[in-house]
Amino acid sequence: MRTMAAIKGLAHAACLATLVLGSGVARADVHAAPHPAPQAGATAPGALPEPSAAKLAAVSSVDRHAAELAELSDRIWAYAEIALREHKSAAALADFAEKQGFKVQRGVAGMPTAFVATYGQGRPVIGVMGEFDALPGLSQKAVAEKTPLVEGAGGHGCGHNLFGAGSLGAAIAIKEQIAAGKLKGTVIFYGTPAEEDYGGKIYMARDGLFDGADAVLAWHPSDDTQADMVSSQAMVDLAVEFRGRASHAASDPWNGRSAVDALELFTHGVNLMREHIRPTSRMHYTIVAGGDVPNVVAEYAKVWIWLRDWKRSEVEQLLARARLLASGAAEMTETTATVNVQGGSWETLVNETGARLLHANLLWLGPATYTEQEQAFAKEIQRATGVPEVGMATGVKPLEGQVPEGGSTDVGDVSWIAPTLHVSVATSPKGAPWHGWPVVASGGMSIGHKGMVRAAKVLAATMVDLYEQPEALAAVQAEFKAKKGDVKYESYVPPGPPPAPKD
Ligand SMILES: [Zn+2]
């Protein structure tokens, strides 16, 4: 998830996921030699419905590809390319999808690193999204202390290397079932770039790439595992610019009109307005330009501000009030103000019916298991970052009682176009800082790989439900339609491609 949009959400592939499958019998996945497919009926007695043959085969497919997926994820981890610069990462995923038999359309929605990989035909059309961008300045080795891999370079502090490879693993598992005639319909893997900046999905949503999908799934790396029942915040991204008149600040200040004065009045207005906004609203800004030298009355000033709330309707009100503040500040200083909406994302429309399907499949798959070394690695990170040394979370959090955290994601935009099912899966030590070195470290070794494999399995199992059970898909869609009502999705981003990436 980004800071703009941040959900949060370990010895390389020597030992991937060891999951417990329903029966309570630990099943170690040895990927050098594919293990026999689990037997139907291996669920906990009386608790969950019997898995279908297609579901068992899809989960088995993830295991079969686990080593390749870990290698793919590690490559993207090492590339650590930031938003809209993810050329090698996007190519690695797209090439892998193509090799597996998907039809790949590259460079969609004006972004060279966005792509769509499709397999099959007809309905239902089920999509799964994968991210792959890194964050600047977070380079880190896969070790339990802060140690940059390449000083000053990017790092996968949000685990998107796992996100992309895991989601593609789920898409491949479904593709194999369609190819084998066990499932009917179409599977789409959406390669969605630049989540941490720009919001690639917003451009893809604007350009209609999610239109026609019957449901879309996504996961996100996290420090715990749950089918998500909580939303993310809607936000709008504004550039507010003031233009005045330069003069000598000592010899003829009366000829000057200061853009910085206007900026100060604007931000003061924002800060006073905090007393009169809903407790759910958030406003944060940074000053981008504020004059160059004290003896010149500043001609130009710019503030970059984000306005958020859990409801887009509230964000719209904040936006209207920010416009008033800007024009008021300009009037008081005899300057001019320009307010540009640069982007923004919608809050996530939670699909509880879908979350229940994901939750049931998480329970069916069982808890994650870690080796003593992995738990020791997690605890070492926790010690280093001053959080309780509890190791990795292994279980599944309940659906009820989830507390939303702040942050926005471009997944929100997709959730207003197609029912969107979202799950968080543990890939990093419980409580360790997100968007920080611990996430990079654990995402580049077996702890991250295990989370990725678990995510691919729960996504694949849930997708199988949607293909095989028309009544389940219909219920997911009915909830989506009821919640969406007559709201028409409109993207916050202007026409054209996103701005060129910053250096
Ligand atoms: Zn993220």
Cα(156) to ligand 1 centroid in Å equals: 9
pTM, rounded to two decimals = 0.88
Tokens of 386: 């001053």
Cα(451) to ligand 1 centroid in Å equals: 14
Cα(219) to ligand 1 centroid in Å equals: 10
Cα(143) to ligand 1 centroid in Å equals: 21
pLDDT score of 12: 27
Cα(153) to ligand 1 centroid in Å equals: 18
Strands 215-222 and 420-426: parallel
Cα(425) to ligand 1 centroid in Å equals: 12
Cα(113) to ligand 1 centroid in Å equals: 17
Cα(46) to ligand 1 centroid in Å equals: 37
Cα(53) to ligand 1 centroid in Å equals: 33
Strands 115-120 and 282-290: unpaired
pLDDT score of 501: 83
Cα(173) to ligand 1 centroid in Å equals: 23
Cα(193) to ligand 1 centroid in Å equals: 11
Of 166, 162, 143, which is closest to residue 10 (Cα–Cα)? 143
Cα(42) to ligand 1 centroid in Å equals: 34
Element (H, E) at 237: strand 234-243
Cβ neighbour number for residue 495 with a 10 Å cutoff = 8
Three-state DSSP class for residue 472: helix
Of 272, 334, 273, 265, which is closest to residue 303 (Cα–Cα)? 265
Cα(121) to ligand 1 centroid in Å equals: 31
Q: Tell me how far apart the alpha carbons of residues 358 and 356 are, in angstroms, rounded to a whole number.
A: 5
Cα(367) to ligand 1 centroid in Å equals: 23
Cα(249) to ligand 1 centroid in Å equals: 46
Q: Tell me how far apart the alpha carbons of residues 456 and 425 are, in angstroms, rounded to a whole number.
A: 10
Torsion of Cα atoms, 431 then 432 then 436 then 441, to 10°: -130
Cα(9) to ligand 1 centroid in Å equals: 7
Please, what's the largest Cα pairwise distance for the chain? 88
Which residues in the chain show pLDDT less than 50?
2-46
Cα(486) to ligand 1 centroid in Å equals: 30
Cα(343) to ligand 1 centroid in Å equals: 18
pLDDT score of 405: 84
pLDDT score of 1: 53
CA 473, chain centre distance (Å): 23
Cα(238) to ligand 1 centroid in Å equals: 22
Cα(194) to ligand 1 centroid in Å equals: 10
pLDDT in tens, 227-249: 999 999 999 999 999 999 999 99
